Amino acid sequence: IAAIANVIVLSTTPNLTLFGCSFFTVALLLVIIAAILWMRLPKNIYFTHYWENKTQGVDESEKEQHAVDANDEIPPETTKTIITTASNICTVMGEVKSPGLCVLFTFLVSLSLAPSVFALIRPTHYDVNDPWTATYFTPVIVFLLYAVCDFLGRMQGGKIRWPTPERSWLFKTFVALRFVLIPLTMLCNEQPRSRIPVLLTGDAWPICLVILTGFTNGYFISLGVIHGPSYVASERKECAGIAMGIYMALGLSLGVAFSFGLVASL
């Protein structure tokens, strides 16, 4: 949605100030709409039914909390529960490390390239007076095309679910092969650059790389998240979901950090 809005605003106004105000106005309108809907929640029968049930549970928890405060100490049972939960998550992270690491490395490659390196790509025949090469190429090819391919990849990953957990080695192989996207992208026409020469000339190269990176990112992320809970017992599937979330966060962080090095190496 953000990529589409970016293209629409660019096509309607060349004024950067108005461009920024347009996005701020949209965000402000969404906040106002959210506030109005929030104020109308008490009139929603479905919401009030579950909110009353939740409130009863909160009241009981508050009574327990007051009892804890009165004693000025945490019950041993609570401390034991916290330690056990943390231990379970660490154990589950080891059990789901196969799909978890696949998700981590998928995000690492994707965030290393998109948007930091992809945004630097310029068309081969760049012309300041040409609207396509000067204004629309990066928003359409880098942001919109990547987002669409990522969405399609996630949809297909949820439907096809291949490779299966029994063929995890094949999944790992595909994830490892994605690292080839990094040197290939670095050889495209990113500007400015002073160290690495441009070997992949032509606009077809970056377009294909953006499509491939976006689609495989969505597909492999969906596949890893779906397969993760199948590696543990049914009573530990919730912990498996938390563990996969940790792997995703690590992949995002490492990818963003790695992207600074790639841009600097150009």
* Cβ burial, residue 186 (10 Å; 0-12/13-18/19+): buried
How many Å apart are CA 196 and CA 183, to the nearest integer? 10
Confirm if 103 and 171 have CB atoms less than 8 A apart. no
Span 20-50, pLDDT tens digits: 676 677 778 888 898 888 878 777 787 777 7
Span 144-183, pLDDT tens digits: 999 999 999 999 998 999 999 999 999 999 999 999 999 9
Q: How confident is the model at residue 74 (pLDDT cuts 50, 70, 90)?
A: very low
Residue 160, sorted as left (phi over 0), alpha (psi -120 to 50) or beta, turns out to be: alpha
Q: What is the mean pLDDT of residues 238-265?
A: 91
Confirm if 200 and 188 have CB atoms less than 8 A apart. yes
pLDDT of residue 44: 77
How many Å apart are CA 175 and CA 15, to the nearest integer? 42
* Side-chain-facing half-sphere of 3: CA atoms under 13 Å: 18
Q: Is the pLDDT of residue 9 over 50?
A: yes
How many Å apart are CA 63 and CA 73, to the nearest integer? 15
Give the residue from 80, 112, 85 showing the smallest Cα distance to 258.
Answer: 112
pLDDT of residue 82: 44
Domain covering 89-265, topology: Growth Hormone; Chain: A; (1.20.1250)
The terminus-to-terminus CA distance of the chain in angstroms comes to 30
Candidate from 66-70, 101-105, 134-138 with smallest mean pLDDT: 66-70
Q: What is the mean pLDDT of residues 119-132?
A: 87
How many Å apart are CA 72 and CA 59, to the nearest integer? 20
Angle between helix 168-177 and 97-113 (nearest 10): 20
pTM for this model (two decimals): 0.76
Neighbours of 212 (CB within 10 A): 17
Q: Where in the chain is the domain with CATH 1.20.1250.20?
A: 89-265
Q: What is the mean pLDDT of residues 129-138?
A: 85
pLDDT of residue 13: 64
